[in-house]
Amino acid sequence: MKALVGVDGSSNSLAAVEFVGGMLSADRDDIALLYAAPEVSFSGEESLDPAVQQRARTSLSRAVLDEALTRLPDDWQSRAEPVEMAGAAGAALLAQAAARAVDLIVVGFRGASLFERVMLGSVSRAVVHSAGLPVLVVKSVPVGDGRIEQPAGAGDQHLRVLAAYDGPASGERIAALLGKIAWPAAAEGWLITVVEPMFAAEFPVWLQQKARDPDVAAMAEAWHKDYEQNVAAARRELEHFQQALPACFVGRNAIVAEGRPAEQLLATLGEQPFDLVVVGSRGRGTVARLLLGSTSDQVLAAAPCSVLIVR
């Protein structure tokens, strides 16, 4: 597994470094830490000597990258590669991901304040929507005095993961990615799939009254049987998919929920303390996302834990 982690010196990006350092293995994986130093511009007659500007940028980059390296476990210290670039962070991450042929981009995100949503959240969202490969968005929680609560499971062996399955196409990609990760021995994985409700909206009262008609009642019963068969088929498909996953996902009862995918995923995340949720993304266009809202976008925005989006 080759991972590229974006760092900017913020507590959120450092939390991302800690999380991925605890999730990947120095024996078999590769981590590169990327810092994109911002350009400095002055208006009017003010100017800064280019040599001085370059020294300042280099000094800042070294400070940020050195601090990021200290957040990795000891066995990663000599293995992780610091990378310095200039320019926009999102563009730099995407360019380096393509150049290095990485398997995973990692970004930190808290998005609590307006500043963080505009300055930091914009980078993570831009990468999620533009990258053609999986993106891990590590969430952290503010606890005051500029400190953060590290994501549960970061640097810890007891990682609790919920993987969402929505069909063979995305399932194959999810299985391939999860199979590349050297999961800690104590990691625990759960699987969930969501079956859409039989009717898009609540069963209308007038149709309930019509159902008293023998012919309508017969058709309603046929629909219900068909729906139950779909639920049973979804469970069989999920259990078959489970066998293609790493050992930490095998042996637990898979969850088959009924309802709207995003709602059911978020409800399940709220019932148990998960550290990471894995979801597929079909990469729908901007108009579709604005009008309908994709499951991955809704989970990314509202999940109480870190989110791994598999494109």
Q: What residue ranges do the domains of the chain occupy?
A: 2-40+51-149, 160-310
Looking at the chain, which runs of residues are DSSP E strands? 2-6, 30-37, 81-86, 104-109, 135-139, 141-144, 147-149, 160-164, 188-195, 255-258, 276-280, 306-310
pLDDT in tens, 36-65: 987 665 555 556 677 777 787 788 899 999
Q: Determine how many CB atoms are found less than 10 A away from the CB of residue 130.
A: 13
For the ranges 140-154, 172-186, 235-249, 285-299, the lowest mean pLDDT is seen at 140-154
Question: φ and ψ at 59, to 5 degrees?
Answer: -65, -45
Residue 185: per-residue pLDDT: 85
> Who wins on pLDDT, 204 or 235?
235
Pairing of strands 104-109, 81-86: unpaired
306 near 19, Cβ under 8 Å?
yes
Least confident range of 69-83, 136-150, 266-280? 136-150
The Cα–Cα gap between 293 and 298 comes to: 7
The dihedral of CA 247, 248, 252, 254: what is its sign? negative
Which CATH code fits 160-310? Answer: 3.40.50.620
3-state helix, strand, coil in the chain (%, to 5): 45, 20, 35
The dotted CATH code for 2-40+51-149 is 3.40.50.620
Question: What mean pLDDT comes out for the span 300-309?
Answer: 91
Question: Please, what's the b/e burial string for 81-102 (b: 16 or more CB within 10 A of its CB; e: otherwise)?
Answer: ebbbbeeebbebbbebbeebeb
Q: Backbone phi, then psi, for 106, in 5-degree steps? A: -120, 130
Alpha-carbon distances of 153 from 61, 149, 186, 223, 292, rounded to whole Å: 28, 11, 11, 44, 33
Q: Specify the pTM.
A: 0.82
The reply to whether 160-310 shares the fold of 2-40+51-149 is yes
Q: How far is CA 90 from the centre of its chain?
A: 16
For residues 139 and 151, is the Cβ–Cβ distance under 8 A? yes
pLDDT of 203 reads: 56
Helix axes 295-302, 261-271, angle to 10 degrees: 30
Whether 221 has a pLDDT exceeding 80, the answer reads: no
